């Protein structure tokens, strides 16, 4: 499985930042099948709310752009919406002096600095509970210096254990250490779209960014529609959603367009701390293998939505054929 194992691959590109132009969104130019509109009446339902959560800040963005520029762009896009996000830090990607400077900028801006493990291990058959626990604890040292460090943990790859024993042992450790789980409700494959964009720049340094931006926006809105409707069907109410995105070159360039597109589609951006106060985030689905989007897991637990749930919930294999057809 290649899910989110992209950061080490993006370093193989030619320098292209100076050649990139960001154009206004033109979603009509992209042919991507969209999910049906959620089965709720706008007049009887409040505007759906979501928070941005960002995984894997990294100093290694290859030659597409320097981390300082990426950091500035992403922070500026978020600041423009006057919200605070949750930043999930994987220690090995920032464990040096420049990484401390990067995280300090997020801390000073008031964003939550959260634990995403040190080595981004896949908590499945290949990783024991002991090794996973040690790696989780090792990341505490990386985020400890920051005022806005928050006791929220996000599982790498959203995988929470391949057996009930491993799932429950780590949940007990989180409780002992005073942590909550930083669940994702709206999962997506932004990491893969960025990977394809970076790969294209390696072959064609002047490649336009607009088609990748448009595909990304359509993909994210499609997934938001799907998971919102699934949550409504499982829980009978709208929840405060958390959107998973990654610290990568494409998002550094197009995050303002992404955030504007969600607002145009009727969503309201909120602080991540407010989103995580929704009671749904206290849920502990009893699924095995454990993980995926929290909404996916709650649906799976009911046994009633098998025809709508694929496994894994999101991955490159779902987006590859669509992007191949579009020549992206």
Q: Each residue of 237-292: pLDDT tens digit?
A: 999 999 999 999 999 999 999 999 999 999 999 999 999 999 999 999 999 999 99
| pTM score of the predicted model | 0.89
Q: Each residue of 181-201: pLDDT tens digit?
A: 999 999 999 999 999 999 999
| Integer Cα distance of 239 and 49 in angstroms | 8
Which residue positions in the chain have pLDDT lower than 50? 1, 4-37, 40-44
**Burial of 88 per CB tally in 10 Å (0-12, 13-18, 19+):** buried
pLDDT at 45: 53
pLDDT at 2: 54
Q: Using the 8-state DSSP alphabet, how is residue 54 labeled? A: E
The DSSP bridge pattern shows strands 241-246 and 268-269 to be: unpaired
* Residue indicated by tokens 């978020």: 78
Secondary structure element (H or E) that encloses residue 114, with its range? strand 112-115
Closest CA to 4 of 186, 156, 127: 156
Cβ-contact 215, 328 below 8 angstroms = yes
* Residue indicated by tokens 């040096």: 96
CA 104 remoteness from chain centre: 21
Cβ-contact 238, 48 below 8 angstroms = yes
What is residue 50's three-state secondary structure?
strand
Phi and psi of 278, rounded to 5°? -60, 135
In CATH, what number does 46-325 get? 3.20.20.370
Q: Domain map of the chain by residue range?
A: 46-325
* Residue indicated by tokens 């830090």: 89
What is residue 181's three-state secondary structure?
strand
Closest CA to 95 of 119, 73, 74: 119
* Residue indicated by tokens 């969209």: 34
The residues with which 55 forms a beta bridge, in sequence order, are 88, 246
pLDDT at 46: 84
What is residue 324's three-state secondary structure?
helix
| Integer Cα distance of 271 and 316 in angstroms | 29
């Amino acid at each position: 499985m290649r899910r989110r194992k992209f950061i080490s691959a993006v370093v193989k590109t030619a320098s292209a930042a100076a050649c990139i132009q960001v154009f206004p969104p033109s979603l009509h130019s992209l042919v991507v099948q969209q999910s049906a509109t959620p089965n709720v009446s706008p007049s009887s339902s409040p505007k759906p709310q979501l928070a941005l959560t960002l995984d894997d800040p990294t100093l290694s963005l290859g030659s597409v752009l320097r981390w300082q520029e990426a950091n500035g762009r992403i922070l500026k896009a978020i600041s423009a919406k006057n919200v605070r996000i949750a930043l999930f830090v994987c220690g090995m990607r920032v464990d040096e002096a420049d990484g401390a400077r990067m995280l300090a900028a997020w801390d000073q801006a008031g964003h939550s600095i959260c634990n995403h493990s040190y080595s981004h291990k896949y908590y499945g058959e290949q990783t024991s509970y002991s090794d996973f626990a040690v790696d989780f604890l090792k990341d505490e040292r990386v985020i400890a210096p920051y005022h806005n460090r928050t006791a929220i943990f996000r599982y790498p790859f959203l995988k929470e254990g391949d057996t009930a024993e491993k799932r429950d042992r780590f949940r007990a450790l989180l409780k002992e250490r005073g942590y909550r789980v930083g669940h994702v409700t709206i999962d997506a494959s932004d990491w893969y779209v960025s990977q394809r964009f970076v790969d294209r720049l390696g072959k064609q340094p002047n490649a336009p960014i607009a088609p990748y931006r448009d595909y990304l926006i359509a993909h994210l809105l499609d997934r938001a529609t799907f998971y919102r409707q699934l949550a409504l069907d499982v829980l009978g109410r709208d929840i405060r959603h958390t959107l998973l995105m990654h610290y990568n070159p494409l998002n550094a360039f197009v995050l303002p367009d992404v955030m504007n597109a969600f607002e145009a589609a009727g969503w309201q951006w909120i602080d991540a701390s407010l989103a995580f106060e929704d009671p749904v985030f206290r849920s502990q689905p009893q699924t095995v293998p454990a993980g995926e989007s929290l909404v996916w897991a709650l649906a799976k637990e009911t046994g009633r939505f098998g025809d709508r749930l694929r496994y894994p919930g999101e991955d490159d294999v779902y987006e590859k054929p669509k992007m191949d057809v579009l020549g992206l």
